[in-house]
Amino acid sequence: MPPLRYWTQRVRSDGSWRNERIKAPGEELAALRAGLGHSAGTVPALWGFYTSPTDGQVTPELEAEHAALSLYGLHQQSQSQPMHKRGVSLGAALRGLRHNDRFSGEAVDRRVAAAVNTTSVPALVYRLRGLVTQLRAIKQPLDYDRLLQDIKGWHHPEARRRVRRSWGLSYHSWHAGRDGSHPHTASS
């Protein structure tokens, strides 16, 4: 059985801390954030946090784990509640951001479009960095295991299309009210 990812070691599947006294230490989060803007394997502070198998080569999984660890360190920074919550896809988290009054919906749409239209993992991670900062501002968690898998898939065109479709469907989904109205435009 592979070791648990950093966030899973600290957060239960229901989104609560495993141990209230040992959440995510600030020095560890700083080490994770040190990976932002750097390639997998190039930041010694992150080496102890990697759980992906490798034969000494950078694999898509290791690159995705590096990105997810770095983004998690950014997201969890200064937060008392866990920012990893199982089942919250990036698209759903960004939908929460889109419909939050703190940010312009049109500006969020532009940032999301810029992220999903990238074709390289470094460009995607660069775009996600800004979005994760906004998610942190509204205390919106997301599933980092799923994000890791999505980033891993970004290396391959067909998988990238599937991830884009999944994010897009989650980002633009809505459920009609009993009267058929859109929940974000219906009067209360």
pLDDT in tens, 9-21: 999 988 899 887 7
What amino acid is encoded at 136 in this protein? R
Angle between helices 60-76 and 121-137 in degrees, nearest 10: 20
Q: Is residue 181 part of a domain?
A: no
Please count the structural domains in the chain.
1
Q: Is residue 180 part of a domain?
A: no
- The whole-number pLDDT of residue 25 equals 82
- The whole-number pLDDT of residue 143 equals 97
151 with 166: CB under 8 angstroms? no
- The whole-number pLDDT of residue 20 equals 77
pLDDT in tens, 59-109: 999 999 999 999 999 999 999 999 999 999 999 999 999 999 999 999 999
Mean per-residue pLDDT for 120-129?
97
Mean per-residue pLDDT for 149-174?
95
Task: Indicate which CATH number applies to the domain containing 137.
Answer: 1.10.520.40
Which residues constitute the domain of residue 156? Answer: 6-172
Model confidence band, residue 181 (pLDDT cutoffs 50, 70, 90): very low
Give percent of the chain above pLDDT 90: 80
- The whole-number pLDDT of residue 14 equals 87
